[in-house]
Amino acid sequence: MTDSLQLTMNAYLPLRDVVFQTLREAILKGEIKPGERLMELQLAAKLGVSRTPIREAIRMLEQEGLAVTVPRRGAEVAKMTEKDMEDVLVIRSTLDRLAVQLACDNITAEQLGQLKSAQKSFENSIQAGNLKKLAEADVAFHDVIYKATGNIKLEIMLNNLREQMYRYRVEYLKKDKTYPALIREHQEIVDAIKGKDKELAAKVMDSHVLNQAVAVKNIIREQE
Amino acid sequence: MTDSLQLTMNAYLPLRDVVFQTLREAILKGEIKPGERLMELQLAAKLGVSRTPIREAIRMLEQEGLAVTVPRRGAEVAKMTEKDMEDVLVIRSTLDRLAVQLACDNITAEQLGQLKSAQKSFENSIQAGNLKKLAEADVAFHDVIYKATGNIKLEIMLNNLREQMYRYRVEYLKKDKTYPALIREHQEIVDAIKGKDKELAAKVMDSHVLNQAVAVKNIIREQE
DNA sequence: AGTATGTATATTGTATACAAAATGCAGGAG
DNA sequence: CTCCTGCATTTTGTATACAATATACATACT
């Protein structure tokens, strides 16, 4: 784990929420690794709070699938096996298809603009070789689509599913050099949504997600 | 709320888990109603534990979508609007289709047997006019299918989605007298799975879920 | 009468204290 | 040398104490 996890004491949010966000970020960025233990006293000391908000944050991480706890032994960052990832990908591919189809129906002009600019920023990040920006732009791209569905529960679920892959996906973006393919796929998605062609959109999104499956599973296999 | 919520002090589970299960049950059964506040001190007194496990249980309920909390005001049982229910149903219908198709591929002989006996018990409950048993049999029926997918994450998600409808669904089972249709639908699903006809299974499951949509939404509309 | 303000009370937020279980290690028996 | 046992330490589980905020009601002012 990084030595100094720091709380960004923003607004007047309950500490549990701040702790939750902090730990979540740290896990997703890989600063705390799968299998690493989440010890309350240690975290409390590191973050300068008491155990209570730490414990509540852990309960929340648990329900998000980012942590696993064994009674009387405590929590650790959830590991994902290849099978887990496969399971998640099957679900995600199904729901992503649904999402993009709903987006075809419900997307607003403003959101379409956001989608295009996310796509632009994705391309730029690749040219600039900026991986952090690249990942962010990719998240933004899909976020616009999720929001455009008009189905908040779906948005939350898809964000959660994406989250579970994210740690591994960052590695994949580093390794996989088929960026042109990614750009093309994104562009096809934009076009399909713009043309409100639900069938096409679903098809393209499906292969977009499935393309990642192989790569991400390779990453996991290496780690096992 | 019921006056005496009681803890079933089973094994040596952490209290937070016992509290969580207890509250969850109470919410699903309608013993604690949507919009009702979940006050820590009150619940702690009622269940004979301190506030700490109550708080942790609430954090878990929150992530399951069964409770909503406003900082500095506390938690209450989540209300569902008609729109919420529509959103959930869209997702559930998609994932139920997926589930039944996966089940066609992966179901074991034993599970097929369980499916048939769940179906039997469903019919018997209707004849006996036992609503509690009826609801349980229905849950069991779908549970077998979820388990048969071999995709644990999917199983968890579908259980969660079902859970969110459950409170309203109980009412619907009381009102809606189209039991023969339900039996027929279940039988069609069993047959499709037995014949490993994925297309048919998906189609039947889809209409099965969608049939409930109208009824459940009516219940909600009445309550609003 | 209506609004504003202050105060009491209820309730959540956070920290800490104490209890119980798990873990690791040392020392001894075989 | 290996395995078992028991103690010390760590860590979680639960309860409680204290702080801060929100809520409700009463009172005063316009």
B91/A95 CB distance under 8 A: yes
Token digits for A149? 């569905």
B74 Cβ under 8 Å from any chain A Cβ: no
Report yes or no: B57 and B23 within 8 Å, Cβ to Cβ: yes
Confidence label for B62 from pLDDT (cuts 50, 70 and 90): very high
- CB spacing of A55 vs B60 below 8 angstroms: no
- Closest residue to A154, CB basis, from B63, B72, B87: B87
**CA to C1' distance (Å), from B73 to D23:** 10
Question: Residue A43's pLDDT is what?
Answer: 96
Beta-carbon separation of A55 and B56 below 8 A? yes
> Which nucleotides of chain C are near protein (any atom < 7 Å from a CB)?
11-17, 21-23
Nearest C-alpha in B relative to A88: B153
- pLDDT confidence bin for B9, thresholds 50/70/90: low
Neighbours of B132 (CB within 10 A): 11
Q: Give the mean model confidence (pLDDT) for residues B21-45.
A: 94
Q: What distance in Å separates the CA atoms of residue B202 and residue B102, rounded to the nearest whole number?
A: 10
Please give the pLDDT value at position B178. Answer: 75
Interchain CB distance below 8 Å, A87 and B152: yes
Low-confidence ranges of chain A (pLDDT < 50): 1-3
Distance CA A104, CA A141 (A): 15
Q: What are phi and psi of B37, to 5 degrees?
A: -80, 145
Q: Is the CB of A41 under 7 A from strand D?
A: yes
Task: Please tell me the distance from the alpha carbon of residue B84 to that of residue A156, in angstroms, as a whole number.
Answer: 13
pLDDT of residue B176: 59
Residue B90: C-alpha distances to residues A119, B69, B161, B199, B207 (Å): 28, 25, 11, 19, 12
Predicted local confidence at residue B17, as pLDDT: 96
Q: Which two tokens stand for residue B57?
A: 């249980």
B195 CB neighbours strand C below 7 A: no
> From B80, which residue of chain A is nearest by alpha-carbon distance?
A153
Cβ–Cβ under 8 Å, residues B187 and B124: no
Residues of A in contact with B64 (CB under 8 A): 63
Provide the residue count of chain A: 224
Token output for A196: 């409100």
Cβ within 8 Å, pair A64-B63: yes
* Strands ordered across the beta sheet of B67-70: B37-38, B74-77, B67-70
Q: What is the pLDDT of residue B7?
A: 57
CA atom of B29 to C1′ atom of D13, Å: 29
The partner residue sitting opposite A60, judged by closest CB among B59, B72, B95, is B59
Distances (CA, A) of A175 to A80, A85, B93: 19, 18, 37
Asked if pLDDT for residue B5 goes beyond 80, the answer is no
Gap from B148 CA to C25 C1', Å: 47
Q: Are strands A74-77 and A37-38 parallel, antiparallel or unpaired?
A: antiparallel
What pLDDT does A143 receive? Answer: 96
Distance B190 CA to C27 C1' (A): 65
User: What pLDDT band is residue B129 in, cutting at 50, 70 and 90?
Assistant: confident
Taking a C-beta distance cutoff of 8 angstroms, is the pair A78, A166 a contact? no
**Exposure string (b/e) for A200-216, b if CB count within 10 Å is 16 or more?**
bbbebbeebbeebbebb
A149 CA, D21 C1': Å apart: 38
Which of B15, B70, B91, B147 to substitute to test the interface with A, most A CBs within 10 Å? B91
Task: Please tell me the predicted confidence (pLDDT) of residue B187.
Answer: 96
Three-state SS at A68: strand
pLDDT at B179: 83
- Residue A162 sits at the chain B interface (C-beta within 8 Å): no
Query: For A56, which of B56, B90, B157 is closest by C-beta distance?
Result: B56
CB contact under 8 A, A91 and B95: yes
Whether B11 shows a pLDDT value over 70: the answer reads no
Q: What is the pLDDT of residue A2?
A: 46
Chain A residue numbers with beta carbons less than 8 Å from the beta carbon of B98 are: 90-91, 94
What residues are paired with A75 via a beta bridge?
A38, A69
The CA-atom distances, in angstroms, between A148 and each of A101, A136, A143, B156, B200 are 10, 18, 8, 26, 31
Query: Is B52 within 8 Å of chain A by CB?
Result: yes
* Distance of B154 CA from C2 C1′ (whole Å): 58
Terminal alpha carbon distance of chain B: 20
Q: Is the pLDDT of residue B10 over 90?
A: no
As a whole number, the mean pLDDT across chain B is 90
